[in-house]
Amino acid sequence: MKIVKLLANLGYGSRREVERFLKAGIVTDTDGHVLGERDFPPHDQIRFQGEPLDQVSPLTIIVNKPDGYTCSKEDPDVTVYDLLPPRFEHRNPTLSPVGRLDKDTTGMLLMTDDGPLLHRIIHPKYNLGKVYHVTLDRPLEGHEKELFASGNLTLRNEGKPLLPAELEVLGEKEALITLHEGRYHQVRRMFAAAGNHVVALKRISIGGLKLPEDLEEGDWRIVTQAELDVLFGRVPAQG
């Protein structure tokens, strides 16, 4: 792949813009030598304004999503892309959310440009449970665990019952709930069907991968191969 196409695919600019960057001398190698269109050292030896290039595809990142951010590029309000370097929005292939979180839901969001990986994470047959920490408006009444696990709960305006979900009570108004599918506003609608209201909702894990404790709200980082192995249960999670 030519250097112009490489930088354009990584979102640094259009091909024409990248050509101007090369002429301006801001693309160099590790020794500071200016690179031209015909130069193409190994990816890890290319520098853009003195910084190493982003990882080429496939790239998967984990974001600790704050409240108030949507997962759609088309949304006029702030989106999760505003938490990332601006060039990430223009990568080719596109960096997409793996199962969107609602605007007022926080926590673990995976984003990837790896289509097959995205499919494996969200497809029900791989059974990657998504765990959410729920804070409720009113105390739990005791019937919710059986209701959610029954496989008979049908949400309003839907005809197909939900898959069984697990509920772990943490306190009078707190619980963990594990879903095995992802319907629109599912957790909030489930508790509404049980006669309660969700005050706060945070996703804390997907499959075997937990939201890192050291990842501050609004921050992101690259997901390692070891973490992908944990995600799919190929190796046990640590801690």
* Dist. CA 151–CA 162, nearest whole Å: 6
- Whether 82 is a known active-site residue: answer no
* Helix (H) or strand (E) segment spanning residue 183: none
Residue of 128, 125, 134, 133 lying closest to 99 (CA atoms):
128
Given 29, 67, 102, 229, the catalytic residue: 102
127 Rama class: left (phi>0) / alpha (psi -120 to 50) / beta: left
* Dist. CA 156–CA 148, nearest whole Å: 15
* Dist. CA 114–CA 102, nearest whole Å: 22
Main-chain dihedrals φ then ψ at residue 162, nearest 5 degrees? -75, 150
For residue 194, the one-letter residue type is A
Q: 23 near 182, Cβ under 8 Å?
A: no
* Dist. CA 89–CA 59, nearest whole Å: 13
Strand partners, 201: 105, 134
- Write down the residue that tokens 């505003």 correspond to: 82
Active site (catalytic) residues: 102
